[in-house]
Homo-oligomer: A and B are copies of this chain.
Amino acid sequence: MAKRASGTRSTILKVALQLFLKKGYKDVSYEDLIKETGLSKGALYHHFRSKEDLLISTFEFLLEASRQQMTEVPFKKAKDRESFKELIVGSKKEQIKGIKKLLGTKTIKFNKLLFFFEAINENERLKASIMELMKEEMQFLEKCFLNMKKHDTLPKGKDPLIMAESLYWMLQGTEMLMFFLKNNDSEKDFIKIYNKTIDNFFKII
């Protein structure tokens, strides 16, 4: 009766996430999943009632990992601009490392946004999850800025919340650029883009 932790379920989740991120949800077929997992169709359906169920599980698996990683970041280390940048970029690095570990791959190429949009399009419930995550990520930036305020390393008279939101959307916007790049490993591009965007942010405030 107790669920055997055979690892099959986890294998499926990893492979599915990998494929969804690489090709998009719609473009991943059960044939693909079978090929990559080495399992049979029946096994996949034994663990996930439908493709949509697999999508939701995969999605939550990814969000959970993101969230877990985020809560471990010590925002108090963000004292000045340099340490803030290090913290954020480092956190992104960790996040990518986490996903790599999650997936058990050495490189990741991902079209995260396509996957996200498709997922939301497919299942209304996922909206709430992703909106909550976005909110938490913004709050994390806000905490950093509040900490920097204490250390007098931010211009006065500027609302930390608004700065956080602004930087957050800048980062989200620039992440779209990932879509236009051809590398098999998106990590370096992510880091480059994050560095550049944070630099720009500090140049304009």
Interface residues of A (CB under 8 A from B): 23-24, 26-27, 111, 113-114, 117-118, 120-121, 127, 130-131, 158-159, 162-163, 165-166, 168-174, 176, 179-180, 197, 200-201, 203-205
Contact = CB atoms under 8 A, between A and B. Distances in A.
* Majority secondary structure of chain A interface residues (helix, strand, loop or mixed): helix
Contacts of A111: 117, 121
B204 A166 contact: yes
Given A159-B203, A169-B170, 11 more contacts: A113-B176, A114-B118, A158-B203, A162-B200, A165-B200, A166-B170, A166-B201, A169-B169, A169-B174, A204-B204, A205-B205
Given A158-B204, A165-B200, A117 B113 contact: yes
Nearest to A199: B162
Contacts of A121: 23-24, 27, 111, 114
B173 A204 contact: no
A101 B24 CA distance: 32
Contacts of A174: 169
Nearest to A201: B166
Contacts of A172: 169, 172-173, 176
A158 to B, nearest CB: 6
Residue in A111, A117, A163 with the greatest tally of chain B CB atoms within 10 Å:
A117
B127 A180 contact: yes
A92 to B, nearest CB: 16
Contacts of A127: 180
B113 A180 contact: no
A118 B200 CA distance: 29
